[in-house]
């Protein structure tokens, strides 16, 4: 495994962690509950929907 690939592996790992954390923070600030439990059974899905509409606007 070349040094380049090793560096790439570390960069990918850091990107995944940072990406997940940032996306969670953004979603949270937009009012989307990061529940991951499935919108179809969630009575709060309209809150997410309103957040998405705001985002579009």
Query: Using the rule CB under 8 A, is 11 a contact of another protein?
Result: no
Say whether residue 24 binds another protein (CB under 8 A). Answer: yes
- Candidates 6, 11, 25, 55; binder of another protein (CB under 8 A) is 6
Q: Per CB under 8 A, does 46 bind another protein?
A: yes
Q: Which of 4, 40, 56, 57 binds another protein (CB under 8 A)?
A: 40
Task: Write out the H or E segment, with its range, that includes residue 30.
Answer: none
Q: Look at residue 57 and give its three-state secondary structure.
A: coil
- Quick one: which of 7, 31, 11, 34 has its CA closest to 21? 34
């Amino acid at each position: 495994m070349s040094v380049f690939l090793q560096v790439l592996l570390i960069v990918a790992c850091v990107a995944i962690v940072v990406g997940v954390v940032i996306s969670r923070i953004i979603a949270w600030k937009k009012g989307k509950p990061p529940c991951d439990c499935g919108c179809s059974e969630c009575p709060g899905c309209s809150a997410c929907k309103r957040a998405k509409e705001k985002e579009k606007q």
